[in-house]
Amino acid sequence: MPQVAARINSEQERWLKDYFRTKSAGAEFILPWAVDTFFRSINNLKHVFTPAELKTIVEAHKDTKLQPDHTKLSYLLLKIADACEVGGVHLRNGANKAAMESKLKSLDDTQATALMVWASAFWVSRNHTSANLEEYIKTY
């Protein structure tokens, strides 16, 4: 199995040891679970949003560095509202702001986090550029 070096804080280390007896055992369970949960969430969300809404969400995350304490629905709502109000991102993409916000409000924190990670990943990926945003949306 490939090795991954993760950074965790002391509280997370204590949690892994408490629940799994060792940090390694916990990491071996949690990391694959997190990846599976992410892709399951993204797969389920692909039928919720229109391509115009997805473009708006991705564009709203340009130059965004996600922090674990910011991966909540409330942060996503704020990020999208700001991008629409200040930058008019929804207008450029032809998205209905009210309809998109309604859909976003129906998400839970895990779904919102998956959407933020997916949107931010576009901008840091070696395989994607603004020229192939349409393709990224289609393969989502």
101, with CB counted inside 10 A (0-12, 13-18, 19+), is middle
| CA distance linking residue 35 with residue 99, whole number of Å | 29
pTM of the model: 0.85
For the chain, what are the domain ranges? 10-45, 51-139
Higher pLDDT, 25 or 98: 98
For residue range 66-107, list pLDDT tens digits in order.
888 888 999 999 999 999 999 999 999 999 999 999 999 999
Mean pLDDT of 124-129: 79
